[in-house]
Amino acid sequence: MPSAEMITAQLTLAANRAIGVAMAWHFAIAVATAALILGLRPSRRALGAMLAAPIVSAAVVALAIGNPFNGTILGVLGLALALLALRLSSQPVAPGPVGARILGVLLVAFGSFYPHFLQDEMPVAYLYAAPTGVVPCPTLSLAIGFALLAGGLGSRAWSFTLALVGLFYGLFGVARLRVYLDAVLIVGAAALLALAIAQRRAAPAIVATKGNRLAET
């Protein structure tokens, strides 16, 4: 396995060579945020597919700079999320619980303005060129944040898949790379896992309640 210094150097290279990619994703995030504020709600299927896109983008960047590990993991994750999204409902997304929504906003902001890896740039550059859609942790934070806002898209499989990879990268960033701010990603991934587990436990109860109502009639 490459050393922590080599991995950090590769991530730094990606963040600084792909600033244009990051800026494009910041524009997309701004448009998506404006749409949410205006009350527009995509379908669960559409949102699931859209959140796979920045992950695929980060995979392409990783492969372009010679990081096949991140390229493969993120590429497989993006493809898996896109395929799972095909099975989601075409109904508009429903807001998650209040706590999940608050954490989701924080994760979206954290992923959008991730303050690491840029070199020779003024701090203000992180407002429009933080490496979202370029390196793993801010990209996964962004996707997890929107997923929390949307209540996990009502899909345990989709949420588990994203959360487990997010948890891996968060733990790796903190423990291996000593990027302690990635603890935010750990918290977000754990919250998405908890939300998915809660949905799993709630589903049998809902079915049982409907069955009792039918029996009463």
List of residues 6+ apart from 152 with CB closer than 8 A: 96, 100, 158, 159, 192, 195, 196, 199
Q: What is the pLDDT of residue 108?
A: 97
R_g of the chain, CA atoms, integer Å:
18
Contact between 68 and 32 under an 8 Å Cβ cutoff? The reply is: no
Q: What is the pLDDT of residue 200?
A: 64
Q: What is the pLDDT of residue 204?
A: 45
Q: What is the pLDDT of residue 209?
A: 43
Q: What is the pLDDT of residue 213?
A: 47
Give the three-state DSSP class for 54.
helix
Please provide the distance, in angstroms rounded to a whole number, between the alpha carbons at the two ends of the chain: 63
pLDDT tens sequence for the chain (217 residues) = 678 899 999 999 999 999 999 999 999 999 999 998 898 899 999 999 999 999 999 999 999 999 999 999 999 999 999 999 999 999 999 999 999 999 999 999 999 999 999 987 788 999 999 999 999 999 999 999 999 999 999 999 999 999 999 999 999 999 999 999 999 999 999 999 999 988 765 544 433 344 444 445 4
H-type alpha helices, the chain: 4-17, 19-37, 44-64, 68-85, 98-112, 126-129, 136-149, 156-175, 183-216
With helix as H, strand as E and coil as C, how does 168-199 read? HHHHHHHHCCCCHHHHHHHHHHHHHHHHHHHH
Task: Quote the CA–CA distance of 103 and 159 in Å, as a whole number.
Answer: 15
DSSP 117: S
Task: Quote the CA–CA distance of 144 and 48 in Å, as a whole number.
Answer: 11
DSSP 113: T
Task: Quote the CA–CA distance of 27 and 129 in Å, as a whole number.
Answer: 10
Sequence letter at residue 130: A
Task: Quote the CA–CA distance of 200 and 156 in Å, as a whole number.
Answer: 7
